[in-house]
Amino acid sequence: MPYFLEKDAISGKHAKAYATVNGRVEELFYAKSLEATIEKNKVDVPVLGKTNTPQRSAGWNGTGTMTVYYVSSMFRQLMRNYIQTGQDFWFELMVTNEQPGSATGKQTVYLRGCNLDSVIAARFDATSDDMLEEELPFTFNDYEIKEQFNTITGA
């Protein structure tokens, strides 16, 4: 029976992330974490003769959260422009996961049509020894897996 080799596990510390905003690519080296989730929208389909209520898929929503160190004004400035002009902004996120020495290889995912829900306008905390960070919730309307992990066979 094969078993998983620990060398094939992927560490999130080796990830790379980039944001493309208005054609400009910014490496998000100051990001701490990112999670993007796809959730299916389901609708009830009552069926005569069944006591349960079956469901079927009727679309999806893409949501995510990115936590970054509080060291960049880029997203705050984009939100400020939105407040002043009413013109919304959209961007792409690219995330690559790769663990050196792993047979898993790498995976690169593009999140398209990203749109921030909120940003922190200003922040400080004089009572904490922790570094300042902010959580950036967002939505996205498409995604693409450009590179896929290899199929691993274990040992």
Q: What would the pLDDT profile of 34-89 be if each residue is shown by its tens digit? A: 999 999 999 999 999 999 999 999 999 999 999 999 999 999 999 999 999 999 99
Residue 124 phi, psi (nearest 5): -160, 160
Q: Tokens standing for 107? A: 């995976």
Domains contained in the chain, number:
1
Looking at the domain assignment, is residue 119 inside a domain? yes
Which domain covers residue 81, as residue numbers?
6-147
Hunting for tokens 């398209």 — which residue is that? 112
List Cβ neighbours of 69 (8 Å cut-off, separation of 6 or more).
30, 31, 32, 131, 132, 133
pLDDT of residue 153: 85
Tokens 């990115």: give the residue. Answer: 66
Find out whether 63 and 37 touch, Cβ atoms under 8 Å.
Answer: yes
Q: Confirm whether 19 is domain-assigned.
A: yes
Q: How many Cα atoms within 13 Å fall on the side-chain side of residue 10?
A: 14
Q: Is the pTM of this model over 0.85?
A: yes
CA distance 85 to 77: 12
- Assigned domain for 109 exists: yes
Which CATH number is 86's domain given?
2.30.110.40
Q: Does a structural domain hold residue 155? A: no
Q: What pLDDT score does 1 carry?
A: 81
The conformational region for residue 40 under phi > 0 = left, psi -120 to 50 = alpha, else beta, is beta
Domain annotation covers residue 152: no
